[in-house]
Amino acid sequence: MSAKTAVSDRRVVRTRQTLRDALIGLILEKGYDAITVHDIVQRANIARSTFYAHHGSKESVLLDGVGALRDFLAQAQRDQRSAAAPLAFIRAFFEHADGHRDLYRALMGDGGGAVVNRALRQMFVRLIRPVLVEAAGARKRPIALPVEAVTGFATEGLMAVVTWWLEAKPRLPPAEGERIYLQLIEPALAKNGFAPPPAGV
């Protein structure tokens, strides 16, 4: 990679981060649905042409941010996953949400809008489904339930627990949010064949 290319790449990364930061600040102030592209470029202090060189819409900026979060959680899943903790990204997610509570309240509440909630659900599906497919494939007997239905169940459960946890009084630590979700979901997954089989099975 040439020095010129490296500088250009760093500039792109900075611009995209600036746009994500601008969108986050605006979501906290006025909610996603009320934001316009004009608002974003004004907050980011960039030209509209620069915005469109990177994104086609405010939804593209949002999805860029969700994609960055998904990459972070996927890396946590790879680094921390074990047979005893197949959904290792859950702890990393609760820790991230704990450090950005105001943002998550805005994203997952009324201010987030349908686009935000759909993006978060799609992120969870992409993280949860491979774990379930792998667990089902490791079993020697057929799995009775469709993996898409189980993925949806696990995803909606996570959305519900996180939404409750964000508003819980007194404030609960990330480990408690993770514990409650896993205590609810793991028995259901195990009962229906979507948990790693015991060693030697």
What are 20-38's pLDDT values in tens digits?
999 999 999 998 889 999 9
Q: What is the pTM of this model?
A: 0.85
Average pLDDT over residues 95-123: 88
Q: What pLDDT is recorded for position 94?
A: 97
Q: What pLDDT is recorded for position 199?
A: 43
CATH architecture of 58-191: Orthogonal Bundle (1.10)
**With pLDDT > 90 as the criterion, what percentage of the chain qualifies?**
67
Task: Name the residue with tokens 């379930």.
Answer: 132
Q: What pLDDT is recorded for position 167?
A: 94
Checking if the pLDDT of 7 tops 70, the result is no
Check: CB of residue 120 under 8 Å from CB of residue 154: no
Q: Where are the domains of the chain?
A: 58-191
**What is the sign, positive or negative, of the torsion defined by CA atoms of 45, 66, 97, 159?**
positive
